[in-house]
Amino acid sequence: MVAPPRISGFLAAVALYLSLSACAAVPLERHEFTARKMGCPFRLVLYTQNAEAAAAAAMKTWERIDEIEGRLSNFLLESEVSRLVQAARAEGGGPWTGVSSDLWRNLVAADELRRATSGAFDVTVAPLVKLWRRTRRAQRVPGQAELADACALVGGAALLFNFAEKQVRLERRGLAIDLGGIAKGFALDEALDLLAREGIERVLVDGGGDLRVGRAPPGRRAWRVEVEAPGENLRLELVNEAVATSGDAYRFVEIGGQRYSHIIDPRTGWALSGAATVCVVAPTAMAADGAASAASVLGPEEGLCWVGMNADLDVCFFWREKKDTRTCASPGFEGKMAKPSSHFSPNPAPRSPSLP
pLDDT tens per residue, range 48-79: 999 999 999 999 999 999 999 999 999 999 99
Residue 117 Cα distances to 90, 114, 318, angstroms = 31, 5, 20
pLDDT tens by residue, 241-266: 999 998 765 567 788 778 888 899 99
Q: What does the alpha-carbon distance between residue 260 and residue 273 come to, in Å, rounded to a whole number?
A: 5
Query: How many independent structural domains does the chain possess?
Result: 1
Residues 39-47 have a mean pLDDT of 96
The whole-number pLDDT of residue 157 equals 92
Least confident of 76-90, 116-130, 212-226: 76-90
Q: What is the pLDDT of residue 70?
A: 97
Q: Is residue 211 part of a domain?
A: no
Q: Taking the alpha carbons of 205, 206, 212, 216 in that order, is the dihedral positive or negative?
A: positive
Tell me if 113 is assigned to some domain: yes
Q: Which long-range contacts link 84-92 to residues 24+ away (Cβ below 8 Å)?
A: 84/168, 84/170, 84/177, 85/126, 85/170, 85/175, 85/176, 85/177, 88/170, 88/173, 88/175, 89/173, 89/174, 92/173
Q: Could you tell me which of 199, 196, 291 has the C-alpha nearest to residue 242?
A: 291
Concatenating the DSSP letter of every residue in 10-46 gives: HHHHHHHHHHHHHHHTSPPEEEEEEEEETTEEEEEEE
Predicted confidence band at 137 (pLDDT cuts at 50, 70, 90)?
confident
Alpha-carbon gap, residue 254 to 140, rounded angstroms: 9
Domain CATH code at residue 154:
1.10.3980.10
**Which pLDDT does position 10 carry in this prediction?**
54
69 CB neighbour count, 10 Å cutoff: 18
Question: 344 Cβ partners below 8 Å, 6+ apart?
Answer: 327, 329, 334
Q: Which helix (H) or strand (E) holds 170?
A: strand 167-170
Please name the residues in contact with 77: beta carbons below 8 A apart, sequence gap of 6 or more.
none
Domain for residue 311, yes or no? no
Average pLDDT, the chain: 86
Task: Tell me if 131 is assigned to some domain.
Answer: yes
Q: Look at residue 30 and tell me if it is in a domain.
A: no
In a domain, residue 307? The reply is: no
Range of the domain at 123: 80-170
Residue 144 lies in a domain: yes
**pLDDT tens digits, one per residue of 335-344:** 898 865 555 5
- Over its C-alpha atoms, the chain yields an Rg (Å, rounded) of 24
In a domain, residue 35? The reply is: no
Contacts of 264 (CB under 8 A, 6+ apart): 125, 128, 129, 132, 270, 271, 272
At residue 330's C-alpha, the angle toward residues 292 and 245, to 5°, is 25
**What is the band of 273 on the pLDDT scale with cuts at 50, 70, 90?**
confident
Q: In the prediction, which pLDDT does 352 show?
A: 42
Q: Are the C-beta atoms of residues 210 and 185 closer than 8 Å to each other? A: yes
